[in-house]
Amino acid sequence: MAEHGKGPLAGIRVADFSWVWAGPFCTLQLAHLGAEVIRVESMRRVCVTRMLPPWAEDRREPNTAGYFNQYNQGKRSILLDLAKPEGAELAKRLVAISDVVVENFSAGVMERLGLGYEELKKVKPDIIMISMSGYGQTGPLRDYISYGPAQVPMAGFSTLTGYRHWDRPMHLGLSYGDPNAGLHAAFAILVALWHRYHTGEGQYIDMSQWESTIALVGDALLGQQMNGRQPPRLGNRDPIISPHGFFRCKPAEPGTLPEGLLPEDRWISIACRTNEEWQALCQVMGRPELARDPRFATLEARKANEDLLERIVEEWTITQDPWEATRKLQEAGVAAFPPLCNKELAEDPHLNARGYFVEKEHPVVGVRKHGGIPWRMSDTPCEVWRAAPVMGQDNDYVFRHLLGLSQEEIERLRQAQVIY
């Protein structure tokens, strides 16, 4: 049981063999919900996210990587060489006292290590195991290696994202398949735990990250299937809503924006879903006559004259401070907000008032601000109980306290480089 013992998953232990982003993002949700997550790491193959920026004070070390430290809050870490027979046996002993096993290697890797589901359920018959491979455990692509950036175009996003009239692929800007797969996997594990609670049965979950990403473009798939054509790229526009997009605002005074932004980098997003919201926008802009103009009076008319409509809206926004315009529009019932850079997010008064950000003492980098838990539960409150672990931080806790190894055994395994 985790030291903090809070949250709806308090008392659940997760043996986390995952790495990079998708798997750790899954187990982050479980840690947030109160599970004791034990990351099984290796010096032979250090997690990719421990080697990516940003680094604290630009110290390029595995324990200073902000990327890793964000997505592994509230977890434990042990260092174990699974390629050695004694390492695999120790992993099985950990599984025997765990409830869930998570891995996101390519198909077949865990089996080759002697840690496939059929082997693990021999030591823990009701274990719940999820494999989050790129393409699933079956099918002609099962042995292919996959990372999130490749899943974006494979799921069709790169033909849907981009400016109007573009004829080339466009990336989303992040490996969207990874966190999306992590959330799908966490939900699947919760369902499996619920099933085990009622039946006593564990199960194996074969999850394809590719398929979970494709699930997000259902409307585009239906557009092709039902209408026989590829949905067009719309830039910031919406297929139905108008106006819908980003509009340039009044330039800032020099030196008042975060470093890297130019004075003209000030925008506001505006979306009018109904005629009433469009009429409210017209009032705020001081152009009430536009609401009666036949070119804009209905949604269909606004879509037909969208180029002109956007020019008119921007004639107003270019004279406005984005935050002041947001206040006026929101008070009038119009959805509007400025796009935020990272610094603005970190300092946002609303997020800070809700306690979204977490500041925990890390053994190497000290106190840092990290994104926390985006939900609140009244009866089972959740918390980030500690910062992300340094490599092998919990060796003593796991090997001595949980597995009962003597100090002599641990020292022998260290000498043999089974544990580090």
Catalytic positions: 178
Tokens of 51: 């080697």
Calpha distance 244→404 (Å, rounded): 61
CB 39 within 8 A of CB 25: no
Q: Which of 98, 130, 96 is nearest to 26 (CA)?
A: 130
Strands (E) located in 166-221: 203-208
Helices (H) and strands (E) in the chain, counts: 18, 11
Strand partners of residue 247: 268
Tokens representing 379 are: 């009866």
In 291-410, the DSSP E strands lie at: 335-337, 357-362, 366-371
User: What strands, in cross-sheet order, belong to the sheet with 267-271?
Assistant: 244-248, 267-271, 335-337
- H helical segments located in 200-341: 209-214, 218-227, 275-285, 299-304, 306-317, 322-331
Asked if residue 64 lies in contact with residue 363, where contact means CB atoms within 8 angstroms, the answer is no
Coil vs helix vs strand at 68: helix
